Amino acid sequence: MLTANGDLMPEPLDGVPEVFASGQAGLFDVLPARDFEDSRQIYLSYACGTMDANHTCLARGQLGEQGLENVSELFRVQPAKKGSAHYGGRMVWLPDDTLVLTLGDGFDYREQAQRRQNHIGSIVRLNPDGSVPDDNPFAGHDTYQGEIYSYGHRNVQGLAYDSEQGRLIAHEHGPRGGDEINVIRPGANYGWPVTTHGWTIPVRG
């Protein structure tokens, strides 16, 4: 943690949720609330769980003098997966005060990125309290996960909102090349692993 002058604090911040740290797993992103000056709330994306059962998770807490207070988990990817690769974890606010969070395919779970029955390999859009926005493309669906905003992603590691053009833009790591920069549209399928400009991967099942 840094002071307002950029000096490194001698002690770590208290109250951070327990993070699963291994390989590519860890603490991913920190995003202040839109009303941070008044609410002092911040959002954390991180890996939680164990090597045999872990998730990308989202939590919210209030920044106090010594650390985070009133921390609560708002969202976690379902189902759990094994391993420690491809979590996504980037966050950005949209103008309507919804939060977008990128997710990865877990590497060994790439086929799940085409299945909207789970969150793996998707980008999700949430209300500030973690609930599903009513206008999400699959909100209220009997089978699909309502949080999903787009799917068919491998491992989105860059995310930005272009306010001038009104575009949500994501950077996605490709396999052995084939990296992508995509304009994200609600409900769209971005093809992974069926379509890729990297090396060809057979799809099982």
Catalytic residue list: 86
CA angle 55, 58, 62 (to 5 degrees): 145
Residues 6+ apart with CB under 8 A from 4: none
The closest alpha carbon to 59, from 31, 92, 34, belongs to 31
What DSSP character marks residue 67?
B
Conformational region of residue 194, where left means phi above 0, alpha means psi within -120 to 50, and beta covers everything else: alpha
Spatial distance between the Cα atoms of 154 and 199, rounded to a whole number of angstroms: 13
Residue 98 backbone phi and psi in degrees, to 5: -95, 155
Contact between 103 and 131 (Cβ < 8 Å): no
Spatial distance between the Cα atoms of 58 and 151, rounded to a whole number of angstroms: 18
Contact between 103 and 138 (Cβ < 8 Å): no
